[in-house]
Amino acid sequence: MRRVLITGGAGFIGSHLADVLLKKGHKVVIIDNLSTGSMDNISHLKDNKRFANHIDTIMNKRLMKRLTDDSDMVYHMAAAVGVKYIIDNPLESIQTNVRGTEIVLELANKSNPKKKVVLASTSEIYGKNKDGHASFREDDDRILGTTSISRWSYSCTKALDEFLALAYYREKKLPIVVVRLFNTCGPRQTGRYGMVIPRFVKQALLNQPITVFGDGRQTRSFTYVDDVVKALIALAKYLGAVGEIYNIGNPKSISINELAEKIKAMTDSTSKIVHIPYEKAYEKGFEDMRNRQPDISKIKEHVGFKPKVDIDEMLDSIIKDFEK
Ligand code: UDP
């Protein structure tokens, strides 16, 4: 049995990770300030003796020191997430993602022995893709827009997190693993912070207009949360992953127009599919990436990861969860 600390453990991915680690017999402690997480995500765990939660910020260094010292490893999932959330809360997002990660890494390094940190990063790191770019590899260049477009701050803060983690590894021998997540989806994800699948599912079930932003021909590769959790645990266990960066994703992509049609059909919805210009949906000058697809050869080769859940199964389980 290991004692695992999950920052952001009441969030969408963090809470699923907690469930699986508890099922495997580990002790799980979470810290979450409920900025985008929710008590509903962890309420079913409250009677589990191997589970403890702290509703607090990761900026609370004193508490974080105690939690880090008492754990064997840390999954750092706490972050400001969601394109809409980042645009609406630019300052808090930057502070959480930069200062928060600094604290996590500093304390993991100071702890005796040093604690392994699995750092959740993002496919936003890659930024805009060049025309014709098929899929992103971990060592690909990053192409970003100007600083007046706040979307790009998310990519930059997460890149700084990655630099920090890699610097701690190189200079201090802190065992870190960086993972870049590609559009994770599944039950418990809310559309409140902009994520497309829960937004479309809710709109479709309520027979409200399904809001496609831009021309809808942009594509994304959605990964089911259970597949992501499996990958996170496999990488935490694999010694060769220390000091490395991995894409976690499902390489199959779908256009946002197709996604809207699929969700409408699967929910027998009478919703209209409407197209809304990006500037109206987000902010002036907003830039979207046309395609984003992971190259997963590295994680496949190192830990045998292969996503199992396809888009139809993902949507089916999300729709059932919303109906519930
Ligand atoms: N999107 C959309 N309608 C919505 C929410 C999002 O068409 O109501 C689009 C968004 O512009 C992007 C894609 O869906 O092209 C995925 O958006 P999301 O915010 O889920 O993730 P991203 O890949 O942008 O981080």
Q: How far is the CA of 113 from the centre of ligand 1 (A)?
A: 42
Q: What is the pLDDT of residue 293?
A: 94
Partnered with residue 136 across adjacent β-strands are 294
- Report the nearest atom of ligand 1 relative to the CA of 289: 15
Catalytic residues: 154
- CA–CA separation, 171 vs 240, rounded Å? 18
Q: Is 193 helix (H, G, I), strand (E, B) or coil?
A: coil
Q: What is the pLDDT of residue 303?
A: 98
Partnered with residue 220 across adjacent β-strands are 254
Question: Which distant-in-sequence residues (6+ apart) come within 8 Å of 110 by Cβ?
Answer: 65
Q: How far is the CA of 73 from the centre of ligand 1 (A)?
A: 33
- Report the nearest atom of ligand 1 relative to the CA of 218: 15
Q: What is the pLDDT of residue 97?
A: 94
Question: Which DSSP string corresponds to 138-187?
Answer: TT---B---TTSTHHHHHHHHHHHHHHHHHHHHHH---EEEEEE--EE-T
Q: What is the pLDDT of residue 132?
A: 63
Contact 29, 4 (CB under 8 A): yes
* CA-closest candidate to residue 8, choices 93, 59, 76, 84: 76
Question: Which parts of the chain have pLDDT scores under 70?
Answer: 130-132
Ligand 1, CB within 6 Å, residue ranges: 83, 183, 194-196, 199, 211-214, 218, 220, 256, 288
Distance of CA 263 to the CA centre of its chain: 22
Give the closest residue (by CA) to ligand 1 atom 17.
196
Residue with tokens 């502070």: 95
- CA–CA separation, 176 vs 68, rounded Å? 14
- Report the nearest atom of ligand 1 relative to the CA of 216: 7
Helices (H) and strands (E) in the chain, counts: 12, 13
Contact 223, 254 (CB under 8 A): no
- CA–CA separation, 229 vs 56, rounded Å? 23
Contact 251, 295 (CB under 8 A): yes
- For the chain, domains (ranges, CATH) are 3-189+221-251+291-309 (3.40.50.720)
The model's pLDDT over 109-147, given as tens digits with 9 standing for 90+, comes to: 999 999 999 999 999 999 987 666 779 999 999 999 999
Strands 210-213 and 273-276: parallel
Q: What is the pLDDT of residue 130?
A: 66
Q: Is 65 helix (H, G, I), strand (E, B) or coil?
A: helix
Q: How far is the CA of 196 from the centre of ligand 1 (A)?
A: 5
Q: How many CA atoms lie less than 13 Å away from 168 in the CB half-sphere?
A: 27
Q: How far is the CA of 60 from the centre of ligand 1 (A)?
A: 32
